[in-house]
Amino acid sequence: MSVQRPTTSARELPTELDSPRAKLVYLYLRDGAASIDDLQTDLEVKKITLYSILRTLRERELVEKQGGRFAVA
């Protein structure tokens, strides 16, 4: 028996994302992997905030860390 993770269409956001900034980071990463510096520069969000958002996204298994870069799981 295999277990399948729920998927979202290209236009949908995961329903568990409440924070506008978490949604922003998720949408940004949907286009490809990015470093924390890329996120900070392009989204103009402080690193401390990004670390918190990324931790939450990783805990929910929506984002994974690959080396020094983050990408949608």
**What CATH number is associated with residue 30?**
1.10.10.10
Please answer whether residues 28 and 39 qualify as being in contact, where contact means their C-beta atoms are separated by less than 8 angstroms.
yes
6 within some domain: no
Whether 2 is in a domain gets the answer no
Alpha helices in 18-62 (DSSP H): 20-30, 36-43, 47-59
Is 51 contained in some domain?
yes
- The tens digit of pLDDT for each residue in 26-69 reads 999 999 999 999 999 999 999 999 999 999 999 999 999 999 99
Q: Which residue range forms the structural domain that includes residue 42?
A: 20-72
Residue 55, both tokens:
């931790």
For the entire predicted model, the pTM comes to 0.81
Based on the structure, what is the number of domains in the chain? 1
Pick from 54, 62, 56, 55: nearest CA to 30: 62
Note whether residue 27 is domain-resident. yes
So what's the pLDDT on residue 62?
96
Has residue 38 been placed in a domain?
yes
